[in-house]
Amino acid sequence: MSNQISEQQAPKGLREQFTVLLRMLMLVRPLAGYMALAVAAGTLSYLAAILIPVFGGYGICSVIQDDPPFSLMTVCVCLVIFALARAVLRYIEQRTNHYIAFTLLANIRDQVFAALRRLCPAKLEGRQRGDLIALITADVELMEVFFAHTVSPVCIALLTELVMVIFLAHYHLLLGFAGLLAYLLVGIVVPLVIMKHGSGTGEQVRRRSADMASFMLESIRGLDETLQYQDGEARAQRLRAQSASLSGAQKKLSNLTGFNAALTDAVIILSDLGMLLLAAKLCCAHSINCGTALISVIALMSSFGPVTALAALGSSLQNTSAAAGRVLSLLSEKPETPEITWKKPLTFSGASCQELSFSYRGGSPVLEHISMNFPQNTVIGITGRSGCGKSTLLKLLMRFWEPEIGMISISGRDINRINTPDLRAMESYMTQETHLFRDTIANNVRIGKPGASNEEIEAACKKAAIHDFILSLPAGYQTQVGELGETLSGGERQRIGLARAFLHGAPFMLLDEPTSNLDSLNEAVILKALREESGGKTVVLVTHRLSTVRIADTVCALDDSLSDP
């Protein structure tokens, strides 16, 4: 089974697009009451707008007919009422629709971040960060088109045009049938033709936008290297190529939008002409009078607003359905290691792995038949050449991945029968690259123990040999670190990562190259702190340094190599 998020992240045909739209429609159910209000207000708003020119026609009839249906004074009063009603009802509809849309988008963002936490790290490893950023931002925002400008407009169009068909039919059945045919052509046939004609266009735009975002992100992060090795022109050429590719896809979508508008206008003009000819013929046949013929033509010509909005969906939904397909695919993706709850809590008393074998995504084996014990109150050093699986072993102990063969147990219990929150509380995991957030140093350390006091943070930083350095900064622990900790050196970031691990205070510490970026003096201070902290704890040190594993009670080599810096 692939550990990547499915590549089919956007719809490729009409059936797939309708499936995505149906899944989006299900998200509206919690706000069904607000949606009903928006539909009611929108329907009445459009009817009020249609009645303005219709009553204008009645005003003409009041002048040219001997027995008009309404007096000129009544027509004038009604026009004022309809105009005010149109404004108020339109505001209510738009306000309600956007409340629905932005509420749902906020919920979807929460679900997306929850999905990312659930899938991380296994299912997100190797995924382009720019692609994820595009999904979280642009793709989610594009779903607003569906929630604010699709769901209620479809219902509004159905109700409004149903009323108009009945209105025309009460004059003559043929007039009602002509109106129904016109509405079906504009509101259903045109968008279906456009959606079929442009199938996959929105998908291309979203994919190429995501590729562009990924390229720009890595280019910004690698500006130093680009300048150092004079690679600017080569990257500029790649940027131009990607920009041309994206522009080509966007041009296709723009052409589709233009074709959609042209086709819609053509059908509306032909429908108006057909209604005019039909009304004239019925008038000549004395089936209706001239006033009725005039009102019928005006009514049809002024009632295409709701179905015109539907016709535009054929092109606008290309982008929206593609974006929604990517988002919904992420939300439905199953994690590599599902969350475990409701198991009996346990206390840490050592760990072990038996006959452990693992490979990434069916590739070459990284670990083969590894058996190892991690007794309580012991420091275990793990050495070996790069790529022999040292870091992978720690990820398996954290249950980020599932072993293909073998078993990992903690306190004598299979790791797959331990509550995930309990497992995270029992383990402190420090990776080779410490990630720092754009925040204060204190808050970056506090991640290890939310709610920790300033005294606890300072104590952890002293153990990590970073306290004195922090105090030398102008703002001390309130110093802001740049994005990804760019204002600090590698060694300083690493010591902050160690401070997090110390603050977490877990009985099972997994440290991946904890001293790789440190000088010998700071390494000695940290190793001394680790030795002192190991009382009652199990510490696993993954390292290439011979000096680091000297504090270990046991050294396990995943191969026969061991190098001193």
Q: What is the pLDDT of residue 46?
A: 93
Half-sphere exposure of 176 (CA within 13 A, CB side): 11
Distance CA 195, CA 70 (A): 44
CATH of 14-332, one of 1.20.1560.10, 3.40.50.460, 3.30.70.270, 3.40.50.720: 1.20.1560.10
Mean of pLDDT values over 189-214:
76
Q: Which residues of 273-304 are buried (b: 16+ CB within 10 A; e: fewer)?
A: eebbebbeebbeeeebeebbbbbbbbbbbbbb
Average pLDDT in the chain? 83
pLDDT at 175 over 90: yes
532 vs 496, residue with greater confidence: 496
Nearest residue to 39 (alpha-carbon basis) of 215, 120, 159: 159
Instruction: Provide the 8-state DSSP code for 170.
Output: T
Q: Which residues of 320-334 are buried (b: 16+ CB within 10 A; e: fewer)?
A: bbbbbbbbbbbeebe
pLDDT at 528 over 60: yes
Distance CA 483, CA 280 (A): 72
Task: Note the pTM of the prediction, 2 decimals.
Answer: 0.69
Nearest residue to 406 (alpha-carbon basis) of 359, 358, 364, 338: 358
Give the tens place of pLDDT for each residue, 27-46.
888 888 999 999 999 999 99
Per DSSP, the residues of 86-140 read: HHHHHHHHHHHHHHHHHHHHHHHHHHHHHHHHHHTTGGGTT--HHHHHHIIIIIH
Nearest residue to 380 (alpha-carbon basis) of 468, 478, 526, 510: 510
pLDDT at 98 over 90: no
Mean of pLDDT values over 164-187:
93
Where do the structural domains in the chain lie, given as residue ranges? 14-332, 351-557
Tell me the pairing of strands 365-374 and 351-359. Answer: antiparallel
Q: Please report which confidence band the pLDDT of residue 314 belongs to, taking 50, 70 and 90 as the band edges.
A: low
User: What residues have CB less than 8 Å from 279, skipping those under 6 apart?
Assistant: 175, 288, 292, 293, 294, 296, 297
Give the rounded percent of residues in the chain with a pLDDT score beyond 90. 24
Q: What is the pLDDT of residue 151?
A: 83
| Residue 237 CB neighbour total at 10 angstroms | 10
Nearest residue to 49 (alpha-carbon basis) of 304, 269, 265: 304
- Yes or no: domain 351-557 corresponds to CATH 3.30.465.10: no
Distance CA 482, CA 437 (A): 8
Q: Please report which confidence band the pLDDT of residue 228 belongs to, taking 50, 70 and 90 as the band edges.
A: low
pLDDT at 349 over 60: yes
Q: What is the pLDDT of residue 562?
A: 37
Q: Please report which confidence band the pLDDT of residue 274 belongs to, taking 50, 70 and 90 as the band edges.
A: very high
Q: What is the pLDDT of residue 390?
A: 86
